[in-house]
Chain A
Amino acid sequence: MTPVIRLRQAVCLLGRFPALAGVDLDVAVGEILLVRGPNGAGKSTLLRACAGLTVVSGGEAWVLGHDLREDRRSVRRQVGLLGHSGFLYDDLTVGENLTFAARAAKADPAAATAAMAALGLDGRLRDVAVARLSAGQRRRTAIAAVVARKPSLWLLDEPHTGLDQSGRALLDVLIVDAAASGATVVLASHEVDLVAPLITRSVLMAGGRIIEDPAAPPTESQKTSPGAGVTHDALGVGEARLGQGEAIGVS
């Protein structure tokens, strides 16, 4: 079955800097994938690249059947990206933002109403300008904007940040429901313990590459590339081999 995301040695340059320096990744339909890694590893860039926002300048990149090196625009309608900024208009209300987002994505405006209800935004908050919301409420609105589009691929960058207990619970339910109904979810998060019950697989990213992946795709470059190799162990536990054959245990 064709994977939803297929990356082979993908390189993404931000100016001169290789944010993604050779990523190999396969993501199958219905997976909930966690991408973890230190700051600066390239997690956000990975999500943005899969959304078709950044130019992939090396390697292969296929998302939802679209070749991102040929045409990265068509894939955007089918993905929902939740970034650090919410892509919301500060001067408009929650309701207006969501209606606009739904209409722009050619989705049913009723989906916007349903999304608002799902995230507890359909009461007083519906008519409050986004600028006057708290950070957590903004996050909920941004999530609702993604939900309203009904995307086939969810790309969530630190989605739990700023949410309170009930918000987190709501989000978790949404993620699981999305995967259950045929969408695929990729999330980048530092809160490994929090998301552990949701996810189906976890990969570790560092230095612009995926260095730990329980289901790593086969590549020839594994044998010849310098630096860390790839482990095939359970979630997050295993060994990494450095250039000289040293091994370091990972907890």
Chain B
Amino acid sequence: MTRTSVEGVERGGGMVRVLGAATALMMAVTVLLALVVSPAEINQGDSVRLLYLHVPTAWLALYLSFGVTSLASALYLWPRTRSRLWDMVAGASAEIGVLFLGLTLAVGSIWGRPTWGVWWTWDPRLTTTAVLMVAYLGYLAVRTVPGDPEVTARRAAVVALAAFVDVPLIHQSVEWWRSQHQPASILDDSRLLDPQITGLMGLTLLVSVVAFTLLYAWLMCHRVRVANLERTAGGEDLARAMVERHAEAETAGRL
């Protein structure tokens, strides 16, 4: 192996580096816009700036990574497109998704405190998010159960699809549930959840979403690469295990 290709394997190829640079740049722009350039909001003041973190992480966690996990799981299960790559993608996406989901809930809670005066509200989106968090964790737990890698992959894919099917049901039920509760006057949920977004704020939001999407893509590249390395290492282990197994025949007693 040449030195460059070894380095490539260890740190990701050229395309990934470009992606990383683009991500860093976009993040810098986002920070600048969010914290410095864009104005404070009418009702919420400066705490609206947390939204520039909250909204993209929510988009990423709820739609992007969960969507990718479900799609990759389906592709893994479909015989014609079955490939270990999809299993690795599904797992990587779920891990990143849980991370950002936790971030979403935390930032949302921190934003809610000065805005509404409470840490939590039973808003349909928040509640669905919380339930989804547990579902994600269950999926990751299934992936860590020891056993044949193909078997684990299949089991996890089925769990992912079952959770995916359940999401609209969870969402619908929580929506109906909340619609039956007249919100207290202090807590006018809908008004505060969708603050007035003016021109520059809208641009900032867009930029932040793009920046986080790039971040997701960059993290995915690296995580899948690591998963692939683990798998290759596992393959080498197998070859070694076979040799050791054959050697048992020589050392074991004969009947």
Are A250 and B254 touching (Cβ within 8 A)? yes
B241 at the A/B interface (Cβ < 8 Å)?
Answer: yes
B42 at the A/B interface (Cβ < 8 Å)?
Answer: no
A160 CB to nearest B CB, Å: 16
B194 at the A/B interface (Cβ < 8 Å)?
Answer: no
B238 at the A/B interface (Cβ < 8 Å)?
Answer: yes
State in angstroms the CA–CA spacing of A41 and B237 once bound together.
Answer: 20
A interface footprint on B144-177 (CB within 8 Å = 1, 0 otherwise)? 0011101100000000000000000000000000
B interface footprint on A5-18 (CB within 8 Å = 1, 0 otherwise)? 00000010111111
Contacts of A17 in B (CB 8 A): 241, 245
Contacting residue for B254 out of A11, A55, A190, A204, CB 8 A: A204
With A14-B148, A16-B238: A21-B246 Cβ-Cβ less than 8 Å: yes
A195 at the A/B interface (Cβ < 8 Å)?
Answer: no
Contacts of A236 in B (CB 8 A): 255
State in angstroms the CA–CA spacing of A208 and B246 once bound together.
Answer: 7
Contacts of B248 in A (CB 8 A): 40-41, 206-208
B75 CB to nearest A CB, Å: 21
Contacts of A208 in B (CB 8 A): 245-246, 248
Q: How many A-B residue pairs have CB under 8 A?
A: 72
B90 CB to nearest A CB, Å: 20
Determine the main DSSP class of B at the interface with A.
helix
B236 CB to nearest A CB, Å: 11
CB within 8 Å of A: which B239-255 residues: 241-243, 245-250, 252-255
Binds B, one of A76-84, A124-132, A144-152, A225-233: A225-233
A159 at the A/B interface (Cβ < 8 Å)?
Answer: no
CB within 8 Å of A: which B57-92 residues: none
With A15-B146, A36-B255, A55-B148: A228-B242 Cβ-Cβ less than 8 Å: no
B234 at the A/B interface (Cβ < 8 Å)?
Answer: yes
A-B contacts, 29 of them at CB < 8 A, read A11-B242, A13-B148, A14-B148, A15-B148, A16-B234, A16-B241, A18-B241, A18-B245, A37-B255, A38-B252, A38-B254, A40-B252, A55-B148, A55-B150, A55-B151, A206-B248, A206-B252, A206-B254, A207-B245, A207-B246, A207-B248, A209-B246, A225-B246, A226-B243, A227-B246, A227-B250, A228-B249, A250-B254, A251-B254
Give the interface size class of chain B.
Answer: 20 to 34
Contacts of A41 in B (CB 8 A): 248, 252
A221 CB to nearest B CB, Å: 11
Are A38 and B255 touching (Cβ within 8 A)? yes
Contacting residue for A207 out of B146, B247, B253, CB 8 A: B247
Contacts of A21 in B (CB 8 A): 242, 245-246
A4 at the A/B interface (Cβ < 8 Å)?
Answer: no
Using CB atoms, name the residue of chain B closest to A17: B241
Are A206 and B148 touching (Cβ within 8 A)? no
A169 at the A/B interface (Cβ < 8 Å)?
Answer: no
With A207-B245, A226-B243: A15-B147 Cβ-Cβ less than 8 Å: yes
A117 at the A/B interface (Cβ < 8 Å)?
Answer: no
